[in-house]
Amino acid sequence: MKLIVGLGNPGIKYEKTRHNIGWRIIEELFRQMGIEQWKMEMKFNAFEAQNIINQEKIILIKPQTFMNNSGRSVKSTIDYYKIPVENILVIHDEIDLPLGEIRIQQERGSAGHKGVESIIEHLGTNNFNRMRVGIKSDKQEVIETEKFVLQSFTSEEEKIIQEIIKKAVVLITTAL
């Protein structure tokens, strides 16, 4: 059994922000897996979907706790399903990577990412897989990180992001 977590913030106003790239990728993965509907699981405070791939159950979640409390949803999900921490993939934005760069890594610190920090805190370990998706812009103004990640991509950046979403889904499905 594997758990794939897309990090983001609930609500229309956050939908296309840089911070919600994890949700956008997991939404595309959801579509490509042919799953028809997300189910709100109150016990996880997350939208959940499931599928079987290569005879293994794959669980997708989109925590509804807002980014900074994502660890609560992840912890309750893995406790309920008894998922080993090393079978978790967390997809999130990464301000330290150039726009569109993807890195899959394990056992990293949060690097200041509050959603990842929450997951590490709730799980008591950083021994899970992460897909870090670069959101840093060459044309980025000097503003606070919190304000930058809540900005939408420019139309030029959005074209790049559409391709990155597709690439990320291919990477994930190949690994399954």
Catalogue the active-site residues.
Answer: 19
Where do we find the tokens 């139309």?
155
Q: For residues 5 and 137, what is the distance between their CA atoms, to the nearest angstrom?
A: 24
DSSP-derived secondary structure for 26-81:
HHHHHHHTT----EEETTTTEEEEEEEETTEEEEEEEESS-GGGHHHHHHHHHHHH
The total of other beta-carbon atoms located within 10 Å of residue 70's CB is: 32
DSSP letter for 17, please.
B
Output DSSP code: residue 24. Answer: H
Nearest to 60 by CA among 43, 74, 79, 80: 74
Evaluated on CA atoms 82, 126, 26, 164, the torsion sign reads: negative
